[in-house]
Structure 1
Amino acid sequence: MFRLIVFSLLMCLPVITRAQIIYSESFVLTPPDSTQPYRGSVSGSFMSQKQKDIFFQLNQRADFAMRIKHASLILANNFDIIRNGNQTVLSGGFAYAKLRRFVERNIMPEYFAQYQWFDIRGLDQRMVLGSNMRFKILHTKTDAFYLATGTMLEYEKWNYNAVPEHRLPVTTSPKEILAPKWNIYASFDHDLTKNILLDAGFYYQTRMLPAFEYTRIANHLRIGWKVNKHIMLSGVIRIIYEYKPIVPVDPWWYRVSNELTYRF
Protein backbone atom coordinates (compact mmCIF):
# COMPACT_ATOMS: atom_id res chain seq x y z
CA MET A 1 0.00 0.00 0.00
CA PHE A 2 2.87 2.40 0.82
CA ARG A 3 4.36 1.87 -2.65
CA LEU A 4 1.01 2.63 -4.28
CA ILE A 5 0.65 5.84 -2.27
CA VAL A 6 4.18 7.00 -3.17
CA PHE A 7 3.59 6.18 -6.82
CA SER A 8 0.25 8.03 -6.89
CA LEU A 9 1.89 11.16 -5.47
CA LEU A 10 4.64 11.03 -8.08
CA MET A 11 2.11 10.57 -10.86
CA CYS A 12 0.47 13.84 -9.78
CA LEU A 13 3.64 15.82 -10.49
CA PRO A 14 3.91 17.85 -13.73
CA VAL A 15 4.73 15.72 -16.78
CA ILE A 16 7.21 15.92 -19.83
CA THR A 17 8.13 14.28 -23.20
CA ARG A 18 11.22 12.82 -24.84
CA ALA A 19 10.18 13.79 -28.40
CA GLN A 20 7.25 13.60 -30.80
CA ILE A 21 6.78 9.84 -30.31
CA ILE A 22 6.20 8.32 -26.89
CA TYR A 23 8.15 5.07 -26.51
CA SER A 24 5.19 3.20 -25.02
CA GLU A 25 6.78 -0.24 -25.29
CA SER A 26 9.53 0.82 -22.89
CA PHE A 27 7.02 1.13 -20.05
CA VAL A 28 6.68 -1.51 -17.35
CA LEU A 29 4.12 -4.19 -18.23
CA THR A 30 2.14 -6.83 -16.37
CA PRO A 31 2.72 -10.11 -18.26
CA PRO A 32 -0.47 -11.94 -19.34
CA ASP A 33 0.55 -15.07 -17.44
CA SER A 34 1.44 -13.17 -14.25
CA THR A 35 -0.62 -13.37 -11.07
CA GLN A 36 0.90 -10.10 -9.85
CA PRO A 37 -1.93 -7.49 -9.76
CA TYR A 38 0.29 -4.50 -10.49
CA ARG A 39 3.78 -3.38 -11.41
CA GLY A 40 5.41 0.00 -11.55
CA SER A 41 8.65 1.92 -11.75
CA VAL A 42 9.83 5.35 -10.65
CA SER A 43 13.01 7.21 -11.55
CA GLY A 44 14.23 10.75 -11.14
CA SER A 45 17.20 13.05 -10.87
CA PHE A 46 17.89 16.55 -9.57
CA MET A 47 20.89 18.86 -9.86
CA SER A 48 21.51 22.47 -8.91
CA GLN A 49 24.81 24.33 -9.05
CA LYS A 50 25.98 27.93 -8.85
CA GLN A 51 27.66 29.22 -11.97
CA LYS A 52 27.27 32.78 -13.23
CA ASP A 53 23.59 32.04 -12.66
CA ILE A 54 22.01 29.12 -10.86
CA PHE A 55 21.85 26.04 -13.11
CA PHE A 56 18.91 23.74 -12.31
CA GLN A 57 17.95 20.36 -13.76
CA LEU A 58 15.04 18.08 -12.83
CA ASN A 59 13.86 14.80 -14.34
CA GLN A 60 11.04 12.57 -13.14
CA ARG A 61 9.52 9.49 -14.78
CA ALA A 62 6.94 7.00 -13.56
CA ASP A 63 4.92 4.20 -15.12
CA PHE A 64 2.38 1.78 -13.71
CA ALA A 65 0.58 -1.31 -15.04
CA MET A 66 -2.39 -2.96 -13.34
CA ARG A 67 -4.40 -6.09 -14.16
CA ILE A 68 -8.19 -5.68 -14.06
CA LYS A 69 -9.62 -9.17 -14.68
CA HIS A 70 -8.90 -9.80 -18.39
CA ALA A 71 -7.62 -6.28 -19.06
CA SER A 72 -4.47 -4.30 -18.35
CA LEU A 73 -4.30 -0.57 -17.60
CA ILE A 74 -1.01 1.24 -18.26
CA LEU A 75 -0.30 4.78 -17.03
CA ALA A 76 2.91 6.76 -17.53
CA ASN A 77 4.33 10.24 -17.28
CA ASN A 78 7.64 12.00 -17.70
CA PHE A 79 8.94 15.45 -16.78
CA ASP A 80 12.19 17.18 -17.80
CA ILE A 81 13.25 20.74 -17.16
CA ILE A 82 16.61 22.51 -17.38
CA ARG A 83 16.97 26.16 -16.39
CA ASN A 84 20.00 28.43 -16.49
CA GLY A 85 19.18 31.48 -14.41
CA ASN A 86 15.90 32.86 -15.75
CA GLN A 87 16.20 31.01 -19.06
CA THR A 88 14.49 27.65 -19.67
CA VAL A 89 16.93 25.59 -21.74
CA LEU A 90 14.74 22.47 -21.96
CA SER A 91 11.14 21.75 -21.10
CA GLY A 92 8.95 18.88 -22.18
CA GLY A 93 6.72 16.11 -20.95
CA PHE A 94 3.89 13.65 -21.47
CA ALA A 95 0.94 11.96 -19.83
CA TYR A 96 -0.05 8.61 -21.31
CA ALA A 97 -2.79 6.02 -20.73
CA LYS A 98 -3.49 2.71 -22.46
CA LEU A 99 -6.12 0.01 -21.88
CA ARG A 100 -5.59 -3.50 -23.23
CA ARG A 101 -8.40 -6.06 -23.23
CA PHE A 102 -8.22 -9.87 -23.31
CA VAL A 103 -4.50 -9.76 -22.54
CA GLU A 104 -4.28 -13.55 -22.22
CA ARG A 105 -5.21 -13.99 -25.90
CA ASN A 106 -2.87 -13.95 -28.90
CA ILE A 107 -4.77 -11.02 -30.44
CA MET A 108 -5.94 -8.19 -28.20
CA PRO A 109 -7.43 -4.72 -28.76
CA GLU A 110 -5.87 -1.70 -27.08
CA TYR A 111 -6.98 1.92 -26.71
CA PHE A 112 -4.69 4.81 -25.85
CA ALA A 113 -4.61 8.56 -25.21
CA GLN A 114 -1.71 10.94 -24.66
CA TYR A 115 -0.79 14.58 -24.19
CA GLN A 116 2.73 15.92 -24.61
CA TRP A 117 4.96 18.90 -25.36
CA PHE A 118 8.65 19.41 -26.19
CA ASP A 119 9.62 23.09 -26.14
CA ILE A 120 13.21 22.74 -27.30
CA ARG A 121 12.07 21.17 -30.60
CA GLY A 122 9.18 23.59 -31.07
CA LEU A 123 6.30 21.26 -30.17
CA ASP A 124 3.86 23.37 -28.15
CA GLN A 125 1.42 20.52 -27.66
CA ARG A 126 0.37 17.18 -29.09
CA MET A 127 -2.79 15.20 -28.34
CA VAL A 128 -3.52 11.71 -29.61
CA LEU A 129 -6.47 9.30 -29.38
CA GLY A 130 -6.16 5.87 -30.99
CA SER A 131 -6.66 2.13 -31.00
CA ASN A 132 -4.63 -0.87 -32.18
CA MET A 133 -4.85 -4.60 -32.59
CA ARG A 134 -1.88 -6.17 -30.79
CA PHE A 135 -0.54 -9.59 -31.85
CA LYS A 136 1.41 -11.89 -29.56
CA ILE A 137 4.09 -13.47 -31.76
CA LEU A 138 6.25 -14.98 -29.00
CA HIS A 139 6.01 -15.14 -25.23
CA THR A 140 8.26 -17.33 -23.07
CA LYS A 141 9.95 -16.93 -19.69
CA THR A 142 12.91 -15.14 -21.30
CA ASP A 143 11.54 -13.66 -24.54
CA ALA A 144 8.55 -11.66 -25.74
CA PHE A 145 7.77 -10.32 -29.21
CA TYR A 146 4.66 -8.31 -30.13
CA LEU A 147 3.37 -6.51 -33.22
CA ALA A 148 0.54 -3.98 -33.32
CA THR A 149 -1.20 -1.85 -35.92
CA GLY A 150 -4.08 0.59 -35.83
CA THR A 151 -5.23 4.15 -36.36
CA MET A 152 -5.11 7.36 -34.36
CA LEU A 153 -6.28 10.96 -34.53
CA GLU A 154 -3.47 13.43 -33.89
CA TYR A 155 -3.49 17.15 -33.11
CA GLU A 156 -0.23 19.12 -33.03
CA LYS A 157 0.75 22.75 -32.58
CA TRP A 158 4.27 23.80 -33.54
CA ASN A 159 6.29 27.00 -33.28
CA TYR A 160 9.57 27.98 -35.01
CA ASN A 161 11.79 28.27 -31.93
CA ALA A 162 13.95 25.28 -32.95
CA VAL A 163 14.19 26.11 -36.66
CA PRO A 164 17.65 27.32 -37.85
CA GLU A 165 17.61 30.93 -38.98
CA HIS A 166 18.41 30.10 -42.61
CA ARG A 167 15.30 27.87 -42.82
CA LEU A 168 12.85 30.34 -41.32
CA PRO A 169 9.94 31.28 -43.62
CA VAL A 170 8.68 34.83 -44.01
CA THR A 171 5.71 34.08 -41.74
CA THR A 172 6.49 32.30 -38.48
CA SER A 173 3.02 31.99 -37.01
CA PRO A 174 2.44 28.70 -35.12
CA LYS A 175 1.22 25.80 -37.27
CA GLU A 176 -1.63 23.53 -36.18
CA ILE A 177 -2.35 20.13 -37.69
CA LEU A 178 -5.29 17.74 -37.13
CA ALA A 179 -5.01 14.48 -39.08
CA PRO A 180 -5.76 10.74 -38.92
CA LYS A 181 -2.73 8.45 -39.01
CA TRP A 182 -1.71 4.83 -39.37
CA ASN A 183 0.26 3.47 -36.44
CA ILE A 184 2.52 0.39 -36.37
CA TYR A 185 4.91 -0.79 -33.68
CA ALA A 186 6.93 -3.84 -32.71
CA SER A 187 8.46 -4.68 -29.34
CA PHE A 188 11.00 -7.26 -28.24
CA ASP A 189 12.14 -8.20 -24.72
CA HIS A 190 14.92 -10.67 -23.91
CA ASP A 191 16.62 -11.77 -20.70
CA LEU A 192 20.30 -11.96 -21.63
CA THR A 193 21.03 -13.39 -18.18
CA LYS A 194 19.15 -13.59 -14.91
CA ASN A 195 20.10 -9.99 -14.10
CA ILE A 196 20.73 -8.38 -17.52
CA LEU A 197 17.66 -7.46 -19.55
CA LEU A 198 17.22 -6.07 -23.05
CA ASP A 199 14.17 -4.42 -24.56
CA ALA A 200 13.74 -2.75 -27.92
CA GLY A 201 10.90 -1.09 -29.81
CA PHE A 202 10.22 0.12 -33.35
CA TYR A 203 7.50 2.68 -34.11
CA TYR A 204 6.09 3.88 -37.45
CA GLN A 205 3.44 6.59 -37.83
CA THR A 206 2.22 8.18 -41.07
CA ARG A 207 -0.69 10.23 -42.31
CA MET A 208 -3.44 8.46 -44.24
CA LEU A 209 -3.75 11.27 -46.79
CA PRO A 210 -1.52 11.97 -48.57
CA ALA A 211 -0.32 8.40 -48.10
CA PHE A 212 3.14 7.85 -46.59
CA GLU A 213 3.88 11.55 -46.22
CA TYR A 214 4.68 13.30 -42.95
CA THR A 215 6.05 10.02 -41.62
CA ARG A 216 7.77 9.46 -38.26
CA ILE A 217 10.01 6.49 -37.55
CA ALA A 218 11.47 5.84 -34.12
CA ASN A 219 13.17 3.15 -32.09
CA HIS A 220 14.49 2.61 -28.61
CA LEU A 221 17.03 0.17 -27.20
CA ARG A 222 17.57 -0.39 -23.50
CA ILE A 223 19.97 -2.68 -21.63
CA GLY A 224 19.30 -2.96 -17.91
CA TRP A 225 21.14 -4.49 -14.99
CA LYS A 226 19.06 -5.65 -12.03
CA VAL A 227 21.05 -4.52 -9.01
CA ASN A 228 18.52 -6.22 -6.76
CA LYS A 229 14.81 -7.04 -6.72
CA HIS A 230 13.75 -3.39 -6.92
CA ILE A 231 16.69 -1.38 -8.32
CA MET A 232 17.72 -1.37 -11.99
CA LEU A 233 20.48 0.56 -13.76
CA SER A 234 19.86 1.02 -17.49
CA GLY A 235 21.44 2.54 -20.57
CA VAL A 236 18.96 3.77 -23.19
CA ILE A 237 19.18 5.18 -26.70
CA ARG A 238 16.15 6.72 -28.43
CA ILE A 239 16.13 7.85 -32.07
CA ILE A 240 13.52 9.58 -34.25
CA TYR A 241 13.53 10.35 -37.96
CA GLU A 242 10.80 12.63 -39.29
CA TYR A 243 10.07 12.84 -43.01
CA LYS A 244 8.64 16.28 -43.88
CA PRO A 245 8.50 17.85 -40.40
CA ILE A 246 5.56 20.20 -39.77
CA VAL A 247 8.08 23.02 -39.37
CA PRO A 248 11.60 22.78 -40.92
CA VAL A 249 13.47 21.46 -37.88
CA ASP A 250 16.27 18.91 -38.20
CA PRO A 251 14.59 15.60 -39.19
CA TRP A 252 16.87 13.55 -36.91
CA TRP A 253 16.61 13.53 -33.11
CA TYR A 254 18.29 11.24 -30.60
CA ARG A 255 18.85 10.92 -26.87
CA VAL A 256 21.33 8.72 -25.00
CA SER A 257 20.85 8.44 -21.26
CA ASN A 258 21.29 6.25 -18.22
CA GLU A 259 18.59 5.65 -15.63
CA LEU A 260 18.48 4.43 -12.06
CA THR A 261 14.99 3.04 -11.55
CA TYR A 262 13.02 1.75 -8.59
CA ARG A 263 10.64 -1.04 -9.64
CA PHE A 264 7.84 -2.67 -7.70
Structure 2
Amino acid sequence: MKYIFALIFLSFSFSAFSQILNIEKARLDSLEKGRAYRINFETKFNFYNRSASSEEQARFTTLTNELNAVFAPNKHAYIALGNLAYTENNSETILNNGYFHLRTNFNYKKRWSQEAYGQMQYDNFRGLSDRYILGVAIRWRAYQSNKLTLAIGSGPMYENEIWRRPNEEGVEDVSFIKLSTYLIVRWDISDNVYFNTTFYHQVGYDDSIDAARNRLSSNTNFNFKLSKFLSFTTSIAMAYEDKPIIPITKFIYGVENGLTLTF
Protein backbone atom coordinates (compact mmCIF):
# COMPACT_ATOMS: atom_id res chain seq x y z
CA MET A 1 0.00 0.00 0.00
CA LYS A 2 1.34 3.40 -0.93
CA TYR A 3 0.97 6.69 0.91
CA ILE A 4 1.90 9.78 -1.02
CA PHE A 5 2.77 13.12 0.55
CA ALA A 6 3.19 16.02 -1.86
CA LEU A 7 5.18 18.99 -0.59
CA ILE A 8 4.52 21.95 -2.85
CA PHE A 9 7.14 24.63 -2.28
CA LEU A 10 6.52 26.88 -5.27
CA SER A 11 3.21 27.35 -7.03
CA PHE A 12 2.00 29.99 -9.49
CA SER A 13 -0.99 28.22 -10.99
CA PHE A 14 -4.44 28.86 -12.43
CA SER A 15 -7.51 26.74 -11.93
CA ALA A 16 -9.24 26.32 -15.29
CA PHE A 17 -6.02 27.83 -16.60
CA SER A 18 -7.28 28.98 -20.01
CA GLN A 19 -10.26 28.58 -22.27
CA ILE A 20 -8.57 25.50 -23.77
CA LEU A 21 -8.63 22.61 -21.29
CA ASN A 22 -5.96 19.94 -21.12
CA ILE A 23 -7.82 16.62 -20.96
CA GLU A 24 -4.76 14.51 -21.74
CA LYS A 25 -3.68 14.14 -18.11
CA ALA A 26 -6.67 11.89 -17.42
CA ARG A 27 -5.88 9.86 -20.53
CA LEU A 28 -2.20 9.50 -19.59
CA ASP A 29 -2.97 8.60 -15.99
CA SER A 30 -5.47 5.89 -16.94
CA LEU A 31 -5.76 4.69 -20.54
CA GLU A 32 -2.06 4.87 -21.36
CA LYS A 33 -1.32 2.94 -18.16
CA GLY A 34 -3.89 0.22 -18.85
CA ARG A 35 -6.35 1.29 -16.15
CA ALA A 36 -9.91 0.76 -17.38
CA TYR A 37 -11.64 2.36 -14.40
CA ARG A 38 -10.61 5.45 -12.50
CA ILE A 39 -12.50 8.10 -10.58
CA ASN A 40 -11.17 10.85 -8.35
CA PHE A 41 -13.38 13.41 -6.65
CA GLU A 42 -11.99 16.00 -4.29
CA THR A 43 -13.81 18.76 -2.46
CA LYS A 44 -12.42 21.41 -0.11
CA PHE A 45 -14.15 24.14 1.89
CA ASN A 46 -12.22 26.63 4.00
CA PHE A 47 -13.40 29.54 6.10
CA TYR A 48 -10.98 31.56 8.18
CA ASN A 49 -10.28 34.98 9.65
CA ARG A 50 -6.77 36.35 9.24
CA SER A 51 -6.84 40.04 10.03
CA ALA A 52 -4.03 42.56 10.10
CA SER A 53 -5.69 44.48 12.94
CA SER A 54 -8.93 44.66 14.90
CA GLU A 55 -10.09 47.51 12.66
CA GLU A 56 -9.35 45.66 9.41
CA GLN A 57 -11.18 42.37 9.47
CA ALA A 58 -10.37 39.85 6.72
CA ARG A 59 -12.71 36.88 6.35
CA PHE A 60 -11.85 34.41 3.60
CA THR A 61 -14.04 31.68 2.16
CA THR A 62 -12.73 29.19 -0.39
CA LEU A 63 -14.48 26.29 -2.11
CA THR A 64 -12.83 23.84 -4.51
CA ASN A 65 -14.31 20.79 -6.21
CA GLU A 66 -12.49 18.60 -8.73
CA LEU A 67 -13.66 15.54 -10.69
CA ASN A 68 -11.46 13.25 -12.79
CA ALA A 69 -13.11 10.08 -14.08
CA VAL A 70 -12.27 7.56 -16.81
CA PHE A 71 -14.42 4.55 -17.75
CA ALA A 72 -13.12 2.22 -20.47
CA PRO A 73 -14.79 -1.20 -20.13
CA ASN A 74 -14.18 -2.42 -23.67
CA LYS A 75 -13.10 -0.71 -26.87
CA HIS A 76 -14.53 2.75 -26.09
CA ALA A 77 -13.39 5.18 -23.39
CA TYR A 78 -15.48 7.78 -21.56
CA ILE A 79 -13.82 10.71 -19.78
CA ALA A 80 -15.42 13.23 -17.41
CA LEU A 81 -13.53 16.21 -15.99
CA GLY A 82 -14.85 18.92 -13.72
CA ASN A 83 -13.49 21.76 -11.65
CA LEU A 84 -15.01 24.53 -9.55
CA ALA A 85 -13.00 27.18 -7.69
CA TYR A 86 -14.47 30.01 -5.61
CA THR A 87 -12.72 32.48 -3.29
CA GLU A 88 -14.37 35.30 -1.34
CA ASN A 89 -12.92 38.01 0.90
CA ASN A 90 -15.29 39.99 3.13
CA SER A 91 -18.24 39.01 0.91
CA GLU A 92 -16.38 40.20 -2.20
CA THR A 93 -15.73 37.55 -4.85
CA ILE A 94 -12.06 37.29 -5.79
CA LEU A 95 -12.08 34.10 -7.86
CA ASN A 96 -14.98 32.26 -9.48
CA ASN A 97 -14.37 29.81 -12.30
CA GLY A 98 -15.20 26.27 -13.30
CA TYR A 99 -15.77 23.79 -16.09
CA PHE A 100 -17.32 20.43 -16.90
CA HIS A 101 -16.01 18.38 -19.82
CA LEU A 102 -17.34 15.11 -21.28
CA ARG A 103 -15.49 13.16 -23.96
CA THR A 104 -15.88 9.81 -25.69
CA ASN A 105 -12.94 8.17 -27.44
CA PHE A 106 -14.25 5.47 -29.76
CA ASN A 107 -11.91 2.53 -30.50
CA TYR A 108 -9.26 4.17 -28.34
CA LYS A 109 -6.87 1.20 -28.54
CA LYS A 110 -6.57 1.48 -32.31
CA ARG A 111 -4.07 3.63 -34.14
CA TRP A 112 -6.91 5.67 -35.69
CA SER A 113 -9.76 6.53 -33.35
CA GLN A 114 -12.65 8.99 -33.16
CA GLU A 115 -13.65 11.47 -30.46
CA ALA A 116 -16.77 13.42 -29.56
CA TYR A 117 -16.92 15.94 -26.73
CA GLY A 118 -18.86 18.71 -25.06
CA GLN A 119 -17.92 21.32 -22.50
CA MET A 120 -19.38 24.03 -20.26
CA GLN A 121 -17.10 26.64 -18.70
CA TYR A 122 -17.02 30.03 -16.99
CA ASP A 123 -14.31 32.32 -15.64
CA ASN A 124 -15.69 35.47 -14.08
CA PHE A 125 -12.24 36.79 -13.20
CA ARG A 126 -11.37 37.09 -16.90
CA GLY A 127 -14.86 38.21 -17.93
CA LEU A 128 -16.05 34.89 -19.40
CA SER A 129 -19.65 34.43 -18.26
CA ASP A 130 -20.33 31.25 -20.22
CA ARG A 131 -18.62 29.04 -22.78
CA TYR A 132 -20.19 26.07 -24.52
CA ILE A 133 -18.51 23.82 -27.06
CA LEU A 134 -19.41 20.71 -29.04
CA GLY A 135 -16.86 18.97 -31.22
CA VAL A 136 -15.60 15.86 -32.94
CA ALA A 137 -12.08 14.80 -33.89
CA ILE A 138 -9.98 12.13 -35.52
CA ARG A 139 -7.10 10.95 -33.34
CA TRP A 140 -3.99 9.37 -34.87
CA ARG A 141 -1.48 7.60 -32.68
CA ALA A 142 1.47 8.27 -34.96
CA TYR A 143 4.03 6.38 -32.89
CA GLN A 144 4.01 4.26 -29.76
CA SER A 145 6.67 2.26 -27.98
CA ASN A 146 7.49 1.44 -24.39
CA LYS A 147 9.24 4.79 -24.00
CA LEU A 148 7.72 7.16 -26.55
CA THR A 149 4.17 8.03 -27.61
CA LEU A 150 3.21 10.59 -30.24
CA ALA A 151 -0.44 11.37 -31.03
CA ILE A 152 -2.21 14.00 -33.14
CA GLY A 153 -5.90 14.90 -33.16
CA SER A 154 -7.93 17.35 -35.22
CA GLY A 155 -11.54 18.15 -36.03
CA PRO A 156 -14.27 20.80 -36.14
CA MET A 157 -16.01 22.24 -33.13
CA TYR A 158 -18.82 24.70 -32.41
CA GLU A 159 -18.15 27.35 -29.78
CA ASN A 160 -20.44 29.87 -28.09
CA GLU A 161 -19.08 32.40 -25.59
CA ILE A 162 -20.56 35.25 -23.57
CA TRP A 163 -18.06 37.86 -22.38
CA ARG A 164 -18.55 40.84 -20.06
CA ARG A 165 -16.39 43.89 -20.64
CA PRO A 166 -14.79 45.31 -17.48
CA ASN A 167 -16.61 48.33 -16.05
CA GLU A 168 -19.14 48.34 -18.91
CA GLU A 169 -22.77 47.34 -19.31
CA GLY A 170 -23.82 44.67 -21.78
CA VAL A 171 -22.14 41.52 -23.05
CA GLU A 172 -20.39 40.17 -26.12
CA ASP A 173 -22.20 37.03 -27.34
CA VAL A 174 -20.15 35.29 -30.05
CA SER A 175 -20.32 31.95 -31.84
CA PHE A 176 -17.78 30.33 -34.15
CA ILE A 177 -17.05 27.15 -36.04
CA LYS A 178 -13.42 26.34 -35.32
CA LEU A 179 -10.77 23.81 -36.20
CA SER A 180 -9.31 22.30 -33.04
CA THR A 181 -5.96 20.49 -33.25
CA TYR A 182 -3.69 18.98 -30.62
CA LEU A 183 -0.29 17.29 -30.43
CA ILE A 184 0.76 14.99 -27.59
CA VAL A 185 4.22 13.70 -26.75
CA ARG A 186 5.00 11.34 -23.89
CA TRP A 187 8.65 10.33 -23.47
CA ASP A 188 10.29 8.24 -20.80
CA ILE A 189 13.72 9.80 -21.24
CA SER A 190 15.33 7.37 -18.81
CA ASP A 191 14.33 5.17 -15.90
CA ASN A 192 14.35 8.27 -13.70
CA VAL A 193 13.20 11.10 -15.99
CA TYR A 194 9.73 11.33 -17.54
CA PHE A 195 8.34 13.99 -19.85
CA ASN A 196 4.97 14.73 -21.42
CA THR A 197 3.60 17.74 -23.24
CA THR A 198 0.32 18.66 -24.90
CA PHE A 199 -0.11 21.48 -27.40
CA TYR A 200 -3.53 22.78 -28.51
CA HIS A 201 -4.47 25.15 -31.33
CA GLN A 202 -7.98 26.42 -32.04
CA VAL A 203 -8.72 28.74 -34.96
CA GLY A 204 -11.95 30.20 -36.31
CA TYR A 205 -12.87 32.92 -38.77
CA ASP A 206 -14.72 35.98 -37.43
CA ASP A 207 -16.75 37.87 -40.04
CA SER A 208 -17.06 40.91 -37.78
CA ILE A 209 -13.32 41.62 -37.97
CA ASP A 210 -12.69 39.86 -41.30
CA ALA A 211 -9.88 37.81 -39.75
CA ALA A 212 -9.13 34.54 -38.02
CA ARG A 213 -8.94 34.29 -34.23
CA ASN A 214 -6.31 31.94 -32.81
CA ARG A 215 -5.94 30.35 -29.40
CA LEU A 216 -2.90 28.34 -28.39
CA SER A 217 -2.26 26.44 -25.20
CA SER A 218 0.41 24.07 -23.92
CA ASN A 219 0.97 21.99 -20.81
CA THR A 220 4.36 20.41 -20.12
CA ASN A 221 5.30 18.12 -17.24
CA PHE A 222 8.66 16.79 -16.06
CA ASN A 223 9.05 14.11 -13.41
CA PHE A 224 12.49 13.42 -11.96
CA LYS A 225 12.80 10.32 -9.81
CA LEU A 226 15.45 11.26 -7.26
CA SER A 227 15.32 8.00 -5.34
CA LYS A 228 13.10 5.01 -4.75
CA PHE A 229 10.85 7.13 -2.55
CA LEU A 230 11.35 10.73 -3.70
CA SER A 231 10.39 12.49 -6.95
CA PHE A 232 10.56 16.09 -8.14
CA THR A 233 7.89 17.38 -10.53
CA THR A 234 7.65 20.50 -12.65
CA SER A 235 4.58 21.60 -14.63
CA ILE A 236 4.51 24.54 -17.03
CA ALA A 237 1.25 25.80 -18.55
CA MET A 238 0.96 28.58 -21.12
CA ALA A 239 -1.89 30.08 -23.14
CA TYR A 240 -2.01 32.75 -25.83
CA GLU A 241 -4.90 34.43 -27.65
CA ASP A 242 -4.04 36.73 -30.56
CA LYS A 243 -7.39 38.58 -30.81
CA PRO A 244 -9.34 38.41 -27.54
CA ILE A 245 -13.06 39.17 -27.67
CA ILE A 246 -12.62 41.69 -24.85
CA PRO A 247 -9.41 43.43 -23.68
CA ILE A 248 -7.72 40.82 -21.48
CA THR A 249 -4.13 39.66 -21.04
CA LYS A 250 -3.21 37.82 -24.24
CA PHE A 251 -0.51 35.61 -22.73
CA ILE A 252 -0.84 33.85 -19.39
CA TYR A 253 1.31 31.18 -17.78
CA GLY A 254 1.59 29.04 -14.69
CA VAL A 255 4.44 27.12 -13.08
CA GLU A 256 4.18 24.42 -10.42
CA ASN A 257 7.10 22.70 -8.70
CA GLY A 258 6.76 20.00 -6.09
CA LEU A 259 8.28 17.07 -4.22
CA THR A 260 6.46 13.76 -3.90
CA LEU A 261 7.39 11.27 -1.19
CA THR A 262 6.07 7.74 -1.78
CA PHE A 263 6.38 4.79 0.61
Shorter chain as normaliser: what TM range? 0.7 to 0.9
| TM-score normalised per structure 1 | 0.77
* Equivalent residue number for residue 6 of structure 1: none
* Equivalent residue number for residue 202 of structure 1: 199
Say if 1:250 and 1:40 are closer, same or farther in 2 by CA, change over 3 A: same
Q: CA deviation at 1:249?
A: 1.3
Q: CA deviation at 1:260?
A: 8.8
User: How big is each residue's C-alpha offset from its partner over 1:5-38, in whole Å with a ceiling of 9 and x where there is no partner?
Assistant: xxxxxxxxxxx7322111122334443683x321
- How many Å separate the matches in 2 of 1:143 and 1:256? 24
Alpha-carbon contact 1:26-1:201 (below 8 Å) kept: no
1:71 to 76, 88, 98: 76
- How many Å separate the matches in 2 of 1:186 and 1:20? 17
| TM-score normalised per structure 2 | 0.78
Say if 1:109 and 1:175 are closer, same or farther in 2 by CA, change over 3 A: same
Report the identity percentage. Answer: 22
* Equivalent residue number for residue 254 of structure 2: 255
Alpha-carbon contact 1:182-1:208 (below 8 Å) kept: no
Q: CA deviation at 1:238?
A: 1.5
* Equivalent residue number for residue 213 of structure 1: 212
* Equivalent residue number for residue 55 of structure 1: 60
Q: CA deviation at 1:116?
A: 0.5
- How many Å separate the matches in 1 of 2:27 and 2:257? 17
2:115 to 89, 93, 110: 110
Say if 1:188 and 1:40 are closer, same or farther in 2 by CA, change over 3 A: farther
* Equivalent residue number for residue 234 of structure 2: 235
Q: What does 1:8-157 align with in structure 2 at a 5 Å threshold? A: 17-29=16-28, 30-31=30-31, 34=34, 36-41=35-40, 48-51=48-51, 52-157=57-162
Q: Which has the larger radius of gyration?
A: 2
- How many Å separate the matches in 2 of 1:260 and 1:43? 20
Alpha-carbon contact 2:192-2:225 (below 8 Å) kept: yes
Alpha-carbon contact 2:37-2:73 (below 8 Å) kept: no
Query: Which one-letter code corresponds to 2:138 in the other structure?
Result: M
Question: Aligned pair count?
Answer: 236
Normalized per residue, which structure has more strand?
Answer: 2
Q: Which runs of 5+ in 2 are unaligned?
A: 1-14, 52-56
- How many Å separate the matches in 1 of 2:116 and 2:179? 14
User: How big is each residue's C-alpha offset from its partner over 1:189-214, in whole Å with a ceiling of 9 and x where there is no partner?
Assistant: 22344465322111000114558611
3-state DSSP of counterpart to 1:214:
strand
Alpha-carbon contact 1:18-1:93 (below 8 Å) kept: no
3-state DSSP of counterpart to 2:212:
coil
Say if 1:232 and 1:117 are closer, same or farther in 2 by CA, change over 3 A: farther
